[in-house]
Amino acid sequence: MFASFTQIKNSITHLRIGDWLVIAISSVLVVYLFQHLWSHEHAAKVQIRVGDKVHATYDLNLARHVQVTGALGEAVIHIAHGKARFAKSPCHNQYCVHQGWLNHSGQAAICLPNQISLELIGEKKPYDTLNY
Amino acid sequence: MQIQTTSDDHRIAKLAAFAIALHMVEALLPSPLPGVKPGIANIVTLYVLLRYNFATAAWVSILRVFASSLLLGQFLSPTFALSLSGAILSLGVLGLAVHLPKRYFGAVSLSILAAFAHIGGQLLVVRLWLIPHASVAYLIPVFALAALVFGLINGLITAQLINKHQRHDQ
């Protein structure tokens, strides 16, 4: 009863235009579902860490400028409209500042030289820890 | 007392038995995630739908769900409910999709549409009854991908079987 692999290949060549249409639409649907249902939850809070300690957790909906002193000096973090970013940092390469605004839960900006990190958390944290 | 049976009944019984056997084989296979299964028994449903008619396909599919759950000891369990809701929804979609123009839509289209209806029916039961909170949403993309891949493969196998059969007839 089971068709062999070459027979399956043969039946691929017999696919009709509607079949290709169904395959294409379903593929788009699957990609759409992955994009929308996997970790694109908007964040509710930002957690600021200095070294290995949680410095503070702020609500993202309340606009404020936060000054945090890290290993090198003072960094400024802006929070507004459900987003957060490093606005100023005393670090050399400024990667953290260039990362710009973060707004999805699970996103993080880590300033290694200054030992300050931002992590966005949603209503519930998608994971407990990340190891590199 | 003897029940009068027609040749249609015999055919349904034979085909359903075949679908049940495939269902049993599949039950032995390990699954990476609960609910993600190739659904090879659906090849029989599709084949019957294209070769005979919708009523026969519906009988074969529903008989398969009931008999398989009895054999596996899952009758009236959540697994059975999932299986039945999936079967009913995919039959519903097949009942509509079979009217699509045959020139453009073959077994592969029907198979993929039925596979999506199948997971749709199952997710509905999961959401409404088994796990009534939103965390199921996380699994939907995985189920949808499985429906696309297995629907495609089952459809290709069915198309091949139908082709073979038509060549026999000629």
Q: Residue B22's domain is classified under what CATH number?
A: 1.10.1760
Q: What is the mean pLDDT of residues A1-10?
A: 66
pLDDT of residue A1: 46
Same domain, A92 and A68: yes
What tens digit of pLDDT does each residue of B82-119 get? 899 999 999 999 999 999 998 899 999 999 999 999 99
Number of domains in chain A: 2
Question: What is the torsional sign of CA B69, B71, B76, B78?
Answer: negative
Mean pLDDT of B115-135: 80
Residue B109 domain-assigned?
A: yes
Determine contact, residues B87/B49, Cβ cutoff 8 Å. no
pLDDT at B36: 83
**Does residue B142 form part of some domain?**
yes
**pLDDT tens digit string along B60-79?**
999 999 999 999 888 988 88
Tell me, yes or no, whether A56 and A77 share the same domain.
yes
Q: Does position A12 have pLDDT exceeding 80, yes or no?
A: no
Residue A50 backbone dihedrals phi, psi, to 5 degrees:
-120, 120
Q: Quote the tokens at residue B115.
A: 């596979």
Average pLDDT, chain B: 88
Please list every residue in chain A whose beta carbon sits closer than 8 Å to the beta carbon of residue B153.
8
- Mean pLDDT across B46-72: 94
Q: Tell me if A65 is assigned to some domain.
A: yes
Q: Which residues lie closer than 8 Å to A36 by C-beta, 6 or more apart?
A: none
pLDDT reported for residue B1? 76
Q: What is the pLDDT of residues A60-101, one digit of tens each?
A: 888 999 999 998 999 999 999 889 999 999 988 888 898 889
For A35, the enclosing helix (H) or strand (E) is helix A17-37
B36, part of any domain: yes
Task: Look up the CATH number of the domain holding residue A94.
Answer: 2.60.320.10
B112 → closest Cβ in A11, A23, A34: A23
Between chain A and chain B, the number of residue pairs with CB atoms below 8 A apart is 79
Total number of domains in chain B: 1
- Residue B117 has a pLDDT of 96
Q: Are residues A52 and A86 in the same domain?
A: yes
Is B157–A15 a contact, with Cβ atoms under 8 angstroms apart? no
Same-domain status, A17 and A33:
yes
Which residues constitute the domain of residue A11? 5-37
Task: Determine contact: B66 vs chain A, CB below 8 A.
Answer: no
Whole-number pLDDT of residue A68: 93
| pLDDT recorded at residue B163 | 84
Least confident residue range of B2-11, B18-27, B92-101, B122-131: B122-131
3-state secondary structure at position A72: coil
Name the residue range of residue B27's domain.
7-164
Supply the pLDDT for residue B21.
93
Same domain, A13 and A73: no
Do the chains contact at B112 and A29, CB–CB below 8 Å? no
Q: What is the pLDDT of residue B131?
A: 62
Cβ neighbours of A26 in B, within 8 Å:
112, 116, 144, 147-148, 151
- A55 and A117 share one domain: yes
**What confidence score (pLDDT) does residue B169 get?**
66
Query: Is A27 contained in some domain?
Result: yes
Nearest 5°: phi and psi at A64? Answer: -160, 160
pLDDT, average across residues B24-39: 81
The reply to whether A127 falls in a domain is no
CA distances from A44 to A55, A83, B59, B163 (A): 17, 9, 51, 56
pLDDT tens string A23-48: 999 999 999 988 877 766 678 889 89
B residues 87-116 closer than 8 Å to A (CB): 100-101, 103-106, 108-109, 112-113, 116
Give the mean model confidence (pLDDT) for residues A98-120: 84
The answer to whether B145 contacts A37, with C-beta atoms less than 8 Å apart, is no
What pLDDT shows up at residue A117? 87
The SS3 assignment for B65 reads helix
Taking the C-alpha atoms of residue B91 and residue B113, their distance in angstroms, rounded to an integer, is 10
- Same domain for A70 and A115, yes or no, is yes
Question: Are both A17 and A68 inside the same structural domain?
Answer: no
